[in-house]
Amino acid sequence: MNTITAAITAVGAYVPDFVLSNKVLETMVETNDEWITTRTGIKERRILKDADKGTSFLAIKAAQDLIQKANIDPLEIDMIIMATATADMPVASTGVYVATEIGATNAFAYDLQAACSSFLYGMSTAAAYIQSGRYKKVLLIGADKMSSIVDYTDRATCIIFGDGAGAVLFEPNYEGLGLQDEYLRSDGVGRDFLKITAGGSLVPTTIETVQNRQHNIIQDGKTVFKYAVTNMADASELIVKRNNLTNEDVNWLVPHQANKRIIDATASRMNLEDSKVLMNIEKYGNTTSATLPLVLNDFEHLFKKGDNIIFAAFGGGFTWGSIYLKWAYDKK
């Protein structure tokens, strides 16, 4: 078979040491463990406490973990896609800095931002570069320091988000493994329901925007939940039907870890048994661009060569979609 497909050949991850549990949040904002767990499925999240470290620190650690485990030379990496919603700084690309810091000096790099769908969109982009035949090793990193944009007096958002990073390496495959199909969508109606108001060209930073906390993430939880449940489930169901897969054919669902109820609704639409639905939301919360690779890293030991995996995500903007991928290796 001479057709090139793009397969994931290695994974890596990193989460900070500090654990922000629901019990600790009870001392910070009016909430409680039962309320958070019942509505989100989250028990704790990791927080990068170092004030002098940003998303790049998380990304570098995850990339180094992958490089060490896969025993690859960073100089062989052709390109790096940095999926993130919390870049270190405006203008200067976080991915470019990460590439240099990990020694991937032969690679070109850039950032990709699609909120919680950033990594899913990045999978599509990385696969396209591989399938073009021009590149052999594409490193896709999903990383976010969500604590840098969360208002810890806002119980609607501070209970949800955590910090973390994950990375995957895409390489050419000639056995028909790797990315098989994708269904990606977006709708600008979401702009008003999940956003950071200030700091961009529309509302530049002023003393007033800082005083009014306009640089923190805000969301209309009920609206976002409604759109997420419908669209993530629809996309996953469509990708399965379009590829003539039954619930028996699907080995694993790797969903964005935003809310356990959204994940359950997606799995229900696909008629999947619980054992096929991979979740670590209780440990990390919503790490935005990092959720999908963190799931891959945590459950890599379960995957077998040829397994059918369905990825699904939903993010602000709105952005969403589903990807069908055949796993390419057995973990040694």
pLDDT digits (tens, 9 = 90+) for 209-268: 999 999 999 999 999 999 999 999 999 999 999 999 999 999 999 999 999 999 999 999
Q: Which long-range contacts (CB under 8 A, 24 or more apart) does 236-239 make?
A: 236/266, 236/269, 236/270, 236/310, 236/312, 236/322, 237/269, 237/270, 238/183, 238/322, 239/181, 239/182, 239/183, 239/310, 239/322, 239/323, 239/324
Taking residues 86-110, what's their average pLDDT? 97
- Percentage of the chain beyond pLDDT 70 is 100
The confidence score (pLDDT) of residue 2 equals 77
Residue 306 pLDDT > 90 = yes
CA separation for the pair 9, 4 (Å, rounded):
14
The confidence score (pLDDT) of residue 20 equals 98
Taking residues 267-281, what's their average pLDDT? 96
Residue 199 pLDDT > 60 = yes
Pick the catalytic residue from 22, 116, 158, 297. 116
Q: Indicate the CATH number for domain 5-177.
A: 3.40.47.10
Whether residue 235 contacts residue 269, with contact meaning beta carbons closer than 8 Å, is answered with: no
* 5-177 matches 179-327 in fold: yes
Q: How many residues make up the chain in this entry? A: 332
Pick the catalytic residue from 173, 256, 259, 297. 256
Residue 96 pLDDT > 90 = yes
Give the pair of three-digit tokens for residue 170. 């895409």
Taking residues 63-75, what's their average pLDDT? 98
* Separation in Å, CA 240 to CA 2, 29, 258: 26, 41, 22
User: Does 286 qualify as catalytic in the annotation?
Assistant: yes
Taking residues 21-33, what's their average pLDDT? 95
- Residue 138 exposure: Cα atoms within 13 Å on the Cβ side: 27
Residue ranges of the domains in the chain? 5-177, 179-327
Confidence of residue 62 (pLDDT cuts 50, 70, 90): very high
Give the pair of three-digit tokens for residue 294. 């963190």
The confidence score (pLDDT) of residue 21 equals 97
Tens digits of per-residue pLDDT, 142-167? 999 999 999 999 999 999 999 999 99
Q: Indicate the CATH number for domain 179-327.
A: 3.40.47.10
Residue 122 pLDDT > 80 = yes
Residue 1 pLDDT > 90 = no
Pick the catalytic residue from 22, 216, 286, 297. 286
User: Does 256 qualify as catalytic in the annotation?
Assistant: yes
Tens digits of per-residue pLDDT, 310-324? 999 999 999 999 999
The confidence score (pLDDT) of residue 258 equals 96
